[in-house]
């Protein structure tokens, strides 16, 4: 509805009010009641017709059991209103809480209607002492209702009414001020005369405005005291949020009346509210207040009282609350002098490193405006700063902050947080490189080593941010889709980066060529170039300079981080689509020729030695560096033509036969062989000859045997590298397609044998899980503190090993049942490896639900058997031992992985119970034997999965359990407690619980009969002591009994069809070993239970059948 249409509706109502105000007011009252979602009736009686005592007795809200209606009586002066509505109108669904655009628009129109109503009435009937009194009484009475819909709707209406009345007061203040000025002017103009008609008219006008203001003030007080003071602490968060939102608006629009501690305290108190929605409204209201400097001076007491709370709110668990808190602190920092201490600011600065980007950006604004940017930076140049004085000063402050924060690896997060606010000076790469190229001898202002390293990291982060245009990894769910304007800026930045660093980067590499960390960062910059600039700008000479520096760096460094970055940069530059390909490819070939020539010369000299291999330390170190360089380049480039595989394989075979090869050589030799074979597998085409494929297959199997042998190597680095390579190798070979060459796939296919799978699993157990236990036992607390960084590196390596093996399970390279050994450590190592194990479980379940479920059962059974064997000597199982508690906790964690939808996991959970029951009764003396089964305690374990069963499935599992239990069965001892507990878990939320144990201590027959129960929750939360309805249910009449029997007859048919359907879906109902023997007993039991179902209500059967129909 548009505003004009709404004004027309209000005008029509005003005209109707002027003709008959009682009828019009009753229509308005019905409007408010219906907007609450109540479809009941409203009746009215005049207040004057009743005595006060009778009136107080009428002020009730209760439930009429005879009519089945709920009613509320209250005063809306001068009336007593009675609102009646059906009892089934609950608190969970009414217009204000419904979702969707329609109901959102309804709420906006409802609020707009109240504002228009007051606006259209302000010149006529607003001050008649009847309209507003009635509306305020109505809304105040409804706001005290126990019915949520009435309370929420009337509170919103009252708050909007006060806001609208406040706007009227503002207009009256202006009119009164104007009238007062005119009165003063007129009084001075006719100062010689005793009276004046104009003066008297202005005086009457002024007094009229004062009278109206007094009435408006009374209305505001009545609404505030009658509604706000009672509802700002309401149990419903939406009501509290409405109150706080409006009081913030009142303070901002009418500070003379509301900007004082008497009203501000309510906002301050609600900053501690448990609901994020309420805290958010508080912060938004305070933002509007603190954004105006003229208000800040009047908020000193509030600021002192609640500053600490606001400073702590960026840590709020709700992201939006944290963001708005940071924005509020930014406003407080700007408009309140010294309100934030240095310690407060240091705490807030660190939020630039948070993973939630909106909060980090808000913190970036705070950091930039508070620390990095100062007024006058552009005008006042630091002494000796040159043309980059302001930017240099900002950069130094940024570097100092970065170094002081002790979070050097998070520079990408820091730059991303500042990007929206400090993009101009962060893109000043000319200033940054000028600082790096300064020499102390020439300029006297050279940065120290720490500042240089930090500045290079900042340069790389800014280049990456500008070229990629999206946040760093870990901050943001996915890559941002750039708009046309953002893409244009991105292209301009790439061009700017390329044009500047093409000329400067070779000089930077030459200056810092000996520092591995600086070089590794600088060498990543060309990966973000627009490489076409080399050819279009005729800048090939600068490319030659870059390639020369890169070649020198490769020759100087053997650090893998530098070599891998160099290899990656060569790969980016050596793209066949660009014009500089031939130039870069020629330089790369020359580099590899030199490396391979040196390696061949060294190897030839070694093999020619009489002892077979030289062990000179210098030569071993030189060979290691050469192999590391070749391995780094072989990862990104195909070096097959240099025939590297034969040379490295010979080294590995020598180590297998003699075991005297230095460890420094084994690891890079393994990597070189691995990369060489991978490139050969990738090169397989449709036309590859069989001889080549056979030879490649032999080399692959030979390399696999070498890796298997190295799994038992004495050196930790060697065996871990062999394991990782072997896992990746098996994963690639089991999923390669050899360019659609089926014959090649058959020849090169390599699946791990059973023995290899066992070796891999044993390696994980010894080096990931068992190794953890040993270390935790051997190390003291003091040693753990000293070696914390070493332990973190060790944990990272173990996570890599476990992840590599779990990938083999997830992609069906090894048997899925091998995961059972991994799952055993889920609870014990949850903090270190819980995420990896949980993801493995999720992947295997996605591949094959049934097989994954069997793996879970196998895991629990193996743990139970180990627990039972360890307690054999003690004469029985200990249910309170740590190992048994761990099993139950593991089962509970497994149960949680099935999610909240039991329909999706129905078959899997049913199979867990079937397999668990069969395992629990293994070893019993016959199916109906009375001896205690040795595995009976396993029922306590699978009871953790009972809550994942659908209601019909619980009955079927219970029926399946009864086949293993003789009735009656003595169960007085504690040894049968697992069976009792498991049976109770299947009967949870059922009225069958009363039949668990008979009075004589024997199992009672199965009965699914239910006693109908009905509870009616009153609005005040109490239940009647005795009602006529309950008495009727206790002694049903013959007619009711016949109807119940008829309904039960229908229920039996529906239940039987439901169970037949479930038998088709759940095969465990009649297992192969029991199907022929127990069919008659099963049918007989069904008939008995159907007779027992005669007392079931039709409602319960409908629920069950509905659950069954979901699967059909």
Q: Confidence band (pLDDT; 50, 70, 90) for 876?
A: low
Q: C-alpha distances in angstroms, 379 versus 61, 382, 389?
A: 72, 10, 10
Q: Confidence band (pLDDT; 50, 70, 90) for 478?
A: low
- Comparing 311-320, 422-431, 750-759, 877-886, which segment has the lowest mean pLDDT? 877-886
Q: What is the pLDDT of residues 246-283, one digit of tens each?
A: 999 999 999 988 999 999 999 999 999 999 999 999 99
The reported pLDDT for the residue numbered 787 is: 65
Section 898-903 average pLDDT? 86
Q: Confidence band (pLDDT; 50, 70, 90) for 566?
A: very high
- Comparing 635-639, 657-661, 1069-1073, which segment has the lowest mean pLDDT? 1069-1073
State the residue for tokens 């031992």: 881
The reported pLDDT for the residue numbered 194 is: 53
Strand order of the sheet with strand 69-76? 41-46, 79-86, 69-76, 61-64
Whether the pLDDT of residue 571 is over 90: the answer is yes
Query: Which percentage of the chain shows pLDDT scores above 70?
Result: 75
Whether the CB-CB separation of 815 and 760 falls below 8 Å is answered with no
DSSP string, 411-436: HHHHHHHHHHHHHHHHT-HHHHHHHH
Q: C-alpha distances in angstroms, 108 versus 464, 466, 513, 618?
A: 45, 42, 66, 81
Supply φ then ψ for residue 62, to 5 degrees: -150, -175
The reported pLDDT for the residue numbered 598 is: 92
- Comparing 545-559, 647-661, 718-732, which segment has the lowest mean pLDDT? 647-661
The reported pLDDT for the residue numbered 43 is: 64
Please give the DSSP secondary-structure letter assigned to residue 970.
B
The CA distance from 651 to 655, in Å, is: 6
- Comparing 545-549, 869-873, 935-939, which segment has the lowest mean pLDDT? 869-873
User: How many other CB atoms are found less than 10 A from the CB of residue 1078?
Assistant: 16
Supply φ then ψ for residue 82, to 5 degrees: -120, 115
The reported pLDDT for the residue numbered 970 is: 52
Q: What is the pLDDT of residues 926-955, one digit of tens each?
A: 444 457 788 888 999 999 999 999 988 998
The reported pLDDT for the residue numbered 42 is: 64
Section 792-821 average pLDDT? 93
The reported pLDDT for the residue numbered 415 is: 95
Q: Confidence band (pLDDT; 50, 70, 90) for 1095?
A: very low
What percent of the residues of the chain are helix, what percent strand, and what percent coil, each to the nearest 5?
70, 5, 25
The CA distance from 231 to 70, in Å, is: 23
What is the reported pTM?
Answer: 0.77
Section 811-827 average pLDDT? 93
The CA distance from 779 to 1088, in Å, is: 65
HSE-CB at 997 with a 13 A cutoff on CA atoms is: 13
Whether the pLDDT of residue 925 is over 90: the answer is no
Whether the pLDDT of residue 192 is over 50: the answer is yes
Section 85-113 average pLDDT? 80
Q: What is the pLDDT of residues 328-367, one digit of tens each?
A: 999 999 998 889 999 999 999 999 999 999 999 999 999 9
DSSP string, 944-962: GGGGGS-HHHHHHHHHHHH
Section 862-886 average pLDDT? 77
Q: C-alpha distances in angstroms, 742 versus 347, 733, 737?
A: 62, 13, 8
- Comparing 701-710, 841-850, 954-963, 1011-1020, which segment has the lowest mean pLDDT? 1011-1020
Query: Closest Cα partner for 96 from 274, 281, 238?
Result: 238
Supply φ then ψ for residue 867, to 5 degrees: -65, -45
Buried b (16+ CB within 10 A) or exposed e, 644-660: bbebbbebbebbeeeee
Q: What is the pLDDT of residues 13-40, one digit of tens each?
A: 999 998 988 888 888 888 888 888 876 6
Query: Closest Cα partner for 723 from 781, 771, 763?
Result: 763
The reported pLDDT for the residue numbered 987 is: 84
Token pair belonging to 865: 């058997």
Q: Confidence band (pLDDT; 50, 70, 90) for 782?
A: low
Q: Confidence band (pLDDT; 50, 70, 90) for 822?
A: very high
Section 102-125 average pLDDT? 90
The three-class DSSP label of residue 1037 is: coil
Section 900-914 average pLDDT? 90
Section 874-886 average pLDDT? 72
Radius of gyration of the chain (CA): 41
Whether the pLDDT of residue 1074 is over 80: the answer is no
Instruction: Give the ranges where 992-1071 is alpha helix by DSSP (H).
Output: 1028-1034, 1038-1065
The CA distance from 1050 to 1055, in Å, is: 9
The reported pLDDT for the residue numbered 684 is: 78
State the residue for tokens 């009345």: 165
Q: Confidence band (pLDDT; 50, 70, 90) for 1078?
A: very low
Interacting residues of 463 by C-beta distance below 8 A, sequence separation 6+: 429, 497, 501, 525, 528
The CA distance from 539 to 533, in Å, is: 8
User: How many other CB atoms are found less than 10 A from the CB of residue 368?
Assistant: 20
Query: Closest Cα partner for 156 from 72, 51, 232, 70?
Result: 232
Q: What's the whole-number average pLDDT of the chain?
A: 80
The three-class DSSP label of residue 963 is: coil
Whether the CB-CB separation of 550 and 519 falls below 8 Å is answered with no
The CA distance from 416 to 879, in Å, is: 54
Interacting residues of 881 by C-beta distance below 8 A, sequence separation 6+: 867, 871
The CA distance from 704 to 731, in Å, is: 12
Q: What is the pLDDT of residues 1045-1071, one digit of tens each?
A: 333 343 344 434 444 444 444 444 443
The CA distance from 829 to 826, in Å, is: 6
Section 557-569 average pLDDT? 94
Query: Closest Cα partner for 235 from 271, 264, 284, 278?
Result: 278
DSSP β-ladder status, 79-86 and 41-46? antiparallel
């Amino acid at each position: 509805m548009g505003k004009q249409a709404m004004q027309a509706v209000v005008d029509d109502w005003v005209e109707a009010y002027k003709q008959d105000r009682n009828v019009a007011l009753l229509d308005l009252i019905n409007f408010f009641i219906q907007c609450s979602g109540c479809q009941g009736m409203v009746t009215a009686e005049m207040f004057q017709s009743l005595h006060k005592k009778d009136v107080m007795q009428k002020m009730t809200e209760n439930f009429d059991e005879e009519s089945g209606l709920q009613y509320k009586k209250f005063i809306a002066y001068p009336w007593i209103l009675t609102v009646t509505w059906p009892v089934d109108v609950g608190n969970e669904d009414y217009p204000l809480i419904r979702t969707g655009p329609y109901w959102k628009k309804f709420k906006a129109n409802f609020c707009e209607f109240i504002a228009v109503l007051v606006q259209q009435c302000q010149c006529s009937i607003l001050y008649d002492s009847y309209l507003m009194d009635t509306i305020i009484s109505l809304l105040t009475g409804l706001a005290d209702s126990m019915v949520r819909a009435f309370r929420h709707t009337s509170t919103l209406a009252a708050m909007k009414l006060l806001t609208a009345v406040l706007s009227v007061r503002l207009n009256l203040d202006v009119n009164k001020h104007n009238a007062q000025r005119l009165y003063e002017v007129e009084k001075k103009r006719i100062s010689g005369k005793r009276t004046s008609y104009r003066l008297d008219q202005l005086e009457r006008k002024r007094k009229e405005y004062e009278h109206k203001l007094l009435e408006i003030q009374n209305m505001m007080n009545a609404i505030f005291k009658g509604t706000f003071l009672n509802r700002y602490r309401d149990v419903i968060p939406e009501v509290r949020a409405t109150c706080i939102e409006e009081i913030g608006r009142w303070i901002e629009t009418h500070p003379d009346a509301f900007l004082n501690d008497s009203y501000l305290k309510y906002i301050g108190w609600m900053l501690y509210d448990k609901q994020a929605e309420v805290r958010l409204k508080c912060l938004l209201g305070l933002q509007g207040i603190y954004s105006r400097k003229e208000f800040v001076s009047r908020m000193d007491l509030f600021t002192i009282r609640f500053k600490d709370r606001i400073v702590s709110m960026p840590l709020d668990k709700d992201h939006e609350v944290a963001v708005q808190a940071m924005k509020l602190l930014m406003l407080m920092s700007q408009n309140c002098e010294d309100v934030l201490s240095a310690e407060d600011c240091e705490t807030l600065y660190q939020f630039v490193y948070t993973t939630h980007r909106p909060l980090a950006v808000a913190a970036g604004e705070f950091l930039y405006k508070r620390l990095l940017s100062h007024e006058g930076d552009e005008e006042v140049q630091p002494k000796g700063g040159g043309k980059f004085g302001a930017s240099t000063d900002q950069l130094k402050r940024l570097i100092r902050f970065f170094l002081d924060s002790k979070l050097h690896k998070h520079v990408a997060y820091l730059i991303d947080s500042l990007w929206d606010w400090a993009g101009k000076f962060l893109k000043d790469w000319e200033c940054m490189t000028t600082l790096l190229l300064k020499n102390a001898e020439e300029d006297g202002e050279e940065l120290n080593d720490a500042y240089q390293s930090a500045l290079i990291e900042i340069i790389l982060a800014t280049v990456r941010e500008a070229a990629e245009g999206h946040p760093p990894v870990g901050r943001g769910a996915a890559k941002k889709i750039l708009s046309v304007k953002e893409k244009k800026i991105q292209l301009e930045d790439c061009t700017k980066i390329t044009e500047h660093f093409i000329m400067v980067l070779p000089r930077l590499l030459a200056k810092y060529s000996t520092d591995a960390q600086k070089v590794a960062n600088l060498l990543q910059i060309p990966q973000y170039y627009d490489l076409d600039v080399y050819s279009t700008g005729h800048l090939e000479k600068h490319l030659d300079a870059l390639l020369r520096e890169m070649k020198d760096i490769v020759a100087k460094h053997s650090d893998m981080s530098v070599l891998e970055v160099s290899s990656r940069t060569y790969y980016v530059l050596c793209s066949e689509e660009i014009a500089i390909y031939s130039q870069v490819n020629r330089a790369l070939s020359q580099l590899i020729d030199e490396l391979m020539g040196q390696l061949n010369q060294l190897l030839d000299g070694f093999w020619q030695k009489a002892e077979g291999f030289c062990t000179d330390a210098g030569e071993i170190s030189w060979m290691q560096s050469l192999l590391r360089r070749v391995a780094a380049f072989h990862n990104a480039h195909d070096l097959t033509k240099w025939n590297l595989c034969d040379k490295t394989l010979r080294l590995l075979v020598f180590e297998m036969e003699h075991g005297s090869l230095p460890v420094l050589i084994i690891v890079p030799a393994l990597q070189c062989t691995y990369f060489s074979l991978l490139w050969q597998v990738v090169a397989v085409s449709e036309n590859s000859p069989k001889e080549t494929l056979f030879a490649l297959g032999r080399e692959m199997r030979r390399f696999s045997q070498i890796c298997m042998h190295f799994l038992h190597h004495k050196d930790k680095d060697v065996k871990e590298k062999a394991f990782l390579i072997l896992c990746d190798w098996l994963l690639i070979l089991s999923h390669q397609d050899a360019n659609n060459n089926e014959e090649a796939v058959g020849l090169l296919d390599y699946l791990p044998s059973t023995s290899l799978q066992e070796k891999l699993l044993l390696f994980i157990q010894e080096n990931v899980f068992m190794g953890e236990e040993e270390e935790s036992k051997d190390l003291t607390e003091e040693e753990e503190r000293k070696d914390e960084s070493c332990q973190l590196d060790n944990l990272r390596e173990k996570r890599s090993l476990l992840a590599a093996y779990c990938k083999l399970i997830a992609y069906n390279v090894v048997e899925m049942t091998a995961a059972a050994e991994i799952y055993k450590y889920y609870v014990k190592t949850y903090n270190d490896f819980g995420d990896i194990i949980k993801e493995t479980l999720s992947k295997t379940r996605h591949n094959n639900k049934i097989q994954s479920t069997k793996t879970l059962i196998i895991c629990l059974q193996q743990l139970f058997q180990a627990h039972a064997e360890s307690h054999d000597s003690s004469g029985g199982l200990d249910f309170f031992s740590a190992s048994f508690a761990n099993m139950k906790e593991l089962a509970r964690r497994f149960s949680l992985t099935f999610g909240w939808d039991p329909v999706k996991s129905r078959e899997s959970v049913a199979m867990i119970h079937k397999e668990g029951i069969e395992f629990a009764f293994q070893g019993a003396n016959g199916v109906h034997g009375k001896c205690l089964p040795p595995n009976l305690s396993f029922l306590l374990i699978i009871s953790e999965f009972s809550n994942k069963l659908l209601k019909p499935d619980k009955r079927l599992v219970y029926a399946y359990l009864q086949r293993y239990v003789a009735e009656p069965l003595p169960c007085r001892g504690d040894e049968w407690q697992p069976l009792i507990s498991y049976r109770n878990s299947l009967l949870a939320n059922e009225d069958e619980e009363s039949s668990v144990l008979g009075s004589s201590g024997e199992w009672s027959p199965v009965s699914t009969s239910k006693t109908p129960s009905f509870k009616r929750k009153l609005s005040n939360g109490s239940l009647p002591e005795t009602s006529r309805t309950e008495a009727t249910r206790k002694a049903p009449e013959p007619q009711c009994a016949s109807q119940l029997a008829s309904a039960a007859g229908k229920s039996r048919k529906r239940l039987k069809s439901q169970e037949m359907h479930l038998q088709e879906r759940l095969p465990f109902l009649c297992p192969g070993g029991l199907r022929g023997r127990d069919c008659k007993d099963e049918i007989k039991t069904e008939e008995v239970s159907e007779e027992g179902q005669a007392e079931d209500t039709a409602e319960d059967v409908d629920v069950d059948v509905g659950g069954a129909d979901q699967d059909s």
